[in-house]
Structure 1
Amino acid sequence: PELEIYADDVKCAHGATVGQMDEDSLFYLRTRGLDDAHARRVLTYAFAAEAIDRIDLLPLRKQARAALMARLPGGELL
């Protein structure tokens, strides 16, 4: 991503996380009746929701959560 900053007093950063799904968590969700794809969606949502929950502005937090649900395959099932 490219950031264009037009103010001198703004500090910005970009980050990304890549990793494997926790096999124990996947196993737990599958033993509770979720298929593999749904279990992966739940874990993906939970990971992203941790960041979204730190947004202080409620309207922005709601918008971010809606964007996550729209982009997550099968998000309407969560």
Structure 2
Amino acid sequence: DVRCSHGCTIGQLDESALFYMRTRGIGKKEARALLMYAFANNVLESVKIPQIKARINKLIANKIGVHLGFEV
């Protein structure tokens, strides 16, 4: 499991997490997108209304601009 940490809140992605994903065949752009999405999703955990959560989730995925290969 790879989780985003405090580094994401100040604009830096965890280089070790990026390295881990890259060594498993995930491209740099996709790895960065996954980490950004994971960080945003951690914040979304506090949203309790499913319709709002789903809408914000889709907006985040669209803003990241990379098809992540799973339904959000």
TM-score range, shorter chain: 0.7 to 0.9
Q: Give the distance between the partners of 1:70 and 1:40, measured in 2 at CA.
A: 14
Q: Give a deviation string over 1:24-50, Cα, whole Å, max 9, x none.
A: 100100011011111101100000010
1:60 to 44, 47, 52: 52
How far has the Cα of 1:71 moved from its partner?
1.0
Counterpart in the other structure of 2:3: none
- TM-score w.r.t. the length of structure 1 is 0.71
Normalized per residue, the structure richer in helix is 2
Structure 2 CA distance for aligned equivalents of residues 69 and 26 of structure 1: 18
For structure 2, list consecutive stretches of 5 or more residues without a partner in the other structure.
1-8
> Helix, strand or coil: the match of 1:70?
helix
Matched letter for residue 24 of structure 2: R
The structure that has the greater radius of gyration is: 1
Instruction: Give the fraction of aligned pairs with identical amino acids, expressed as a percent.
Output: 33
Report deviation, 1:77. Answer: 2.7
> Any unmatched runs of 5+ in structure 1?
1-16
Equivalent residue letter for 1:43: L
Q: Which runs of 4+ in 1 moved over 2 A?
A: none
Indicate yes or no: 2:18 matched with 1:36. no
The normalised TM-score by structure 2 is: 0.76
Residues in 2 aligned to 1:44 and 1:53: alpha-carbon distance in whole angstroms: 15
Displacement of 1:19 in angstroms is 2.8
